[in-house]
Structure 1
């Protein structure tokens, strides 16, 4: 289990520093923050602001690098050379690490964003590039990645600690990948549906996938997308549920 300062039975994370209006409020409810560091969103000012807020809220701080594609918010596959990607990822993660170092904060983990997250979870080539970058910066950094994906075992074999992540606000396909956002029902926007998925994850019960299968996931952390318009509502409900688990 991933330890966290609020004593929840599972880590609760959100993607922040992306220009959303609810970052400060979300940080009161979550236990890990994945902070955009310039690839798809974020700059020096937003990183400093978000790290300061995360420090005050005593949450784990993670870098949230992506393909260098601000135009598409990092959510489209990108044709890029290995060297260009390695350089970009190194710069992104290191830029947040430098902010953390300057503020007396610890960079705890790395969670890739968007298309890079989805592709690296199943591509050994991209996964190894990501692992190489993390180990070059700090091999003690943990990798937060899609639960049950091939990258989980690959990263562990290469010596990284892994945080397996599941989602409160996204549906899955049978191979444990996230259903594409353009697929009907892929993004959960209803409080009751989000809570139902969280309850299933907590109880280790199988999830119904959008392609008609049952999928059982073992997760160390549950994610809420900070740019989901229901993110704050979801976070309030989930954190209240996790607090009840801790108390009883």
Structure 2
């Protein structure tokens, strides 16, 4: 008799152990949303590189081309570090890739909460940093050169170029003189396709990451007040991101 009952008992036990949880059960309130995971960097991933690739693959690129993975990786790692230290507040990342020709769009503004690429734009480098390509950088006043590295965006003010945005360099000896030097984001009419057509290269600034006049106010409004701003070049190691890839 027992041998007849025993298979039925096993069947019942197996059914209970494999049954699906009740869909009406409340979800764990401590579980992170996708946006929280992306912006905090607290992914259950085997490495920071896996994390970066996951975020990169989630970017929305229907309207704009994506930045290169190597520059984005350094930027995102630095963003996580700065966010953890409380040096930046917003989930907005601005990436300027100075490994690229100034005749191409090499500035991206990315909303890390949604994965949306908000802007993809031309951006100038300093007049003593190079001609078409940026290759010489400085933190010194009156150098008329661009400074690399991570910045926190500051406040908006109205200057000689109109609406402008102050930048605070976060890397000692690399860009920490930015505010004193007056290195800011501002509009410039020499940052345009027409200037490139007439001069075979983009116009250059005195060290500021100048952007097209028609986009400047929109970009500045989005990235102001403690968002992460990063100028990449493969020639140096950042204090916050991983080593740049040459």
| TM-score, normalised by the number of residues in structure 2 | 0.27
More helix by share: 1
| TM-score, normalised by the number of residues in structure 1 | 0.27
Structure 1 or 2, whichever has the larger Rg, is: 2
